[in-house]
Structure 1
């Protein structure tokens, strides 16, 4: 089931004489390696225009089943062309600001103008990921921690998913208030209330069908995918060292997902050095492969997080074992030993008792 291995992308090669629009973009962004993000923002704007066209068309042309056919076509374009890349652009630009100081207002375009059309309510992703997930590092105070669960059971994932879907809008502001970060709490609340207020207004006063397709379905889809992805990223945790990024995260190399999504598969180093530029991950892994082996890290070749989630939920351990990368300095294992090793890292991990 693993894809054919191909190298993951390094820094994009800029032409010696960029097009005029690229020269303008390069003057505005902080790092020329992020020029693909500007191109992607344009593609996302085109996708959004297609989605917004459903509102007038639903009144003028697309009646009955024709509307739902057009909606399905839009969602296919949305999902296959821009969705995955947008999510990882949002991720990268949350860690590393895209536009220079003199154009700083443009840094709000991705989370506030584009994000709501791609299932990301304004500010929630940034606050959850940057303000909570990275500081807590998947340990027990992390609202998206995987530690209490048996991480190859679908029932456990459903409990994890249901809690996130039902309670994040409550738990995340409370997390920040408890840690004396009221500004972060207000950012979450303002973003969520703004988004859902817009959704209700558009559904009631304009068209509920187009609102469902353009905003509500994307939120449900994206939050489901993100919970499956985070589960896989932090499924294999060493019970003896759950705080160690090399032992509570995984890395996926040489996958189509990395080529499309800015090397997002390199999750171990992302938790070691969160501000590492996306194009530097493959080189870092090659340089420090012995360290990964020393830490007995789990690295897969040709897989992505979502396929790993499916393989875990269906018990396909041998497929996972065959995709494991043999790291220098790590113990040599047979396929059966790899399976046993992986399963030892899927067990629930209790929160340590506080010493009085």
Structure 2
């Protein structure tokens, strides 16, 4: 498969629009900067060779004029007041697909009424999918866990763990939206709002999350420090294509975050946050230990302990992929210390998690707004030499870094800006390699003005 040319047809509609636009930029650049004809060639041949340049210039001008129209089109998909509005109902299928593939009776009498009801329940009209997934988890994960404790079998335990492992990526990014927005369901109904506040205390441990720790670590810590020297999940002190360094990074988080995060809050004078973080983290451990000791050890292993270890590894693999490529000149820039992925796993199944740079630029930006925000800021991304990839997710990003397969990563890179577009494939690979180098303590002091 030609990674540079391939566009995954399973991408969300907004991603296909964004990627088509970026590919057009590349095509225009290549046509405009094709080798010019020699002065020794006759006039007719020179004119013929110059024709693509003129056409490319005209196309570029047309693209510039159309860019606002594309952004308007993307915004309209998110705006309930427009006829183009399309909520997300399922992560797997867009509304256009459902309209054409579902039986008309099912679409009209089941799906449309469900969407109408769901829009009154969810916080944001686009987020019908959040209710869909809550219904999924409370009809599968929760009953399955209860049944494990009532009548345990190893087959059920393994199948339950596999199911939770399949769910956890989407669930975690749903909770990512939850902690950034202070909920995903409407506040107008007290009962629904109460459920919105309370359901994570049941579902989080089943997915491997400890109570409230995602909020304290991600919102109150990671977004404050931004992969800087005081970020407990920072990558800058590691050689980011080194297996031993990566193992140290994962193991440190897995076994020490329970104490390091509270100590961070204490050091920064946020004593109440430190106490809360410690209470909820250790409280989860104690609760799981009690279930193991006094209820059913085997059920607890499959329902809580294995998901906990799996998620901790997954979170660090993902964060490493998000922040492994750090600019050696300005690591403090959000545009240069994080990346953007246009891929199915991140954006279709995980609520546009691939737009990580956009998320760091505005942590409260709604997940559906990332594609249009990216296009609005495309020139800034290009000027700052931000990195955009396709056909790769964060897990494979980490895997390829461990393999030091920079040529593969270069093939996945979508060059933006003339500097990246002018590079050969090998030059792009070396450029990516340069961004995995470990920062010395002296460099950190200088770059971060400590």
Select which of 288, 303, 313 maps to 1:199.
288
Select which of 8, 12, 17 maps to 2:12.
8
Separation in structure 1 between the aligned mates of residue 395 and residue 343 of structure 2, nearest angstrom = 15
Select which of 331, 337, 343 maps to 2:427.
337
1:69 pairs with 2:158? no
Taking the TM superposition and a 5 Å limit, the aligned residue runs for 1:188-227 are 188-227=277-316
In the other structure, the counterpart of 1:61 is: none
- Alpha-carbon deviation of 1:330? 3.3
Return closer, same or farther for 1:4/1:77 CA change in 2, 3 Å cut-off: farther
Highest RCO, 1 vs 2 (Cα 8 Å, sep ≥ 6): 1
Taking the TM superposition and a 5 Å limit, the aligned residue runs for 1:303-318 are 303-318=392-407
Select which of 82, 102, 106 maps to 2:195.
106
Separation in structure 2 between the aligned mates of residue 191 and residue 49 of structure 1, nearest angstrom = 24
Return closer, same or farther for 1:319/1:353 CA change in 2, 3 Å cut-off: closer
In the other structure, the counterpart of 1:353 is: 445
- Alpha-carbon deviation of 1:187? 2.3
Kept in 1: contact 2:213–2:280 (CA 8 A): yes
In the other structure, the counterpart of 2:367 is: 278
In the other structure, the counterpart of 1:54 is: 148
- Alpha-carbon deviation of 1:78? 1.9
- Alpha-carbon deviation of 1:49? 1.4
- Alpha-carbon deviation of 1:16? 8.8
Kept in 1: contact 2:406–2:430 (CA 8 A): no
TM-score with structure 2 setting the length: 0.73
Kept in 2: contact 1:8–1:282 (CA 8 A): no
- Alpha-carbon deviation of 1:4? 4.6
Separation in structure 2 between the aligned mates of residue 317 and residue 127 of structure 1, nearest angstrom = 34
- Alpha-carbon deviation of 1:36? 0.9
Kept in 1: contact 2:164–2:307 (CA 8 A): no
| Aligned-residue CA RMSD (Å) | 2.2
Larger Rg, first or second structure (1 or 2):
2
SS of 1:243's equivalent? coil
- Alpha-carbon deviation of 1:88? 0.3
- Alpha-carbon deviation of 1:196? 1.6
Per-residue CA distance 1:245-272 (angstroms, 9 max, x = gap): 1110011014333111111000011110
Separation in structure 1 between the aligned mates of residue 156 and residue 185 of structure 2, nearest angstrom = 35
SS of 2:126's equivalent? helix
Taking the TM superposition and a 5 Å limit, the aligned residue runs for 1:130-149 are 130-149=219-238
Kept in 1: contact 2:258–2:282 (CA 8 A): no
Kept in 2: contact 1:292–1:327 (CA 8 A): yes
SS of 1:216's equivalent? helix
Separation in structure 2 between the aligned mates of residue 134 and residue 185 of structure 1, nearest angstrom = 16
Separation in structure 2 between the aligned mates of residue 128 and residue 146 of structure 1, nearest angstrom = 15
- Alpha-carbon deviation of 1:287? 2.9
- Alpha-carbon deviation of 1:302? 1.4
SS of 1:260's equivalent? coil
Separation in structure 2 between the aligned mates of residue 172 and residue 151 of structure 1, nearest angstrom = 23
Give the aligned length: 347
Q: Which structure 2 segments of 5+ residues have no match? A: 15-77, 79-84, 88-106
Separation in structure 2 between the aligned mates of residue 292 and residue 54 of structure 1, nearest angstrom = 49
Taking the TM superposition and a 5 Å limit, the aligned residue runs for 1:171-250 are 171-250=260-339
Between 7-16 and 341-350, report the one with greater CA deviation. Answer: 7-16
Kept in 1: contact 2:122–2:130 (CA 8 A): no
Kept in 2: contact 1:9–1:282 (CA 8 A): no
SS of 2:341's equivalent? strand
Q: Which structure 1 segments of 5+ residues have no match? A: 59-66
Kept in 2: contact 1:252–1:304 (CA 8 A): yes
Per-residue CA distance 1:227-261 (angstroms, 9 max, x = gap): 01000100000122111011100110143331111
Separation in structure 2 between the aligned mates of residue 163 and residue 194 of structure 1, nearest angstrom = 20
- Alpha-carbon deviation of 1:23? 4.2
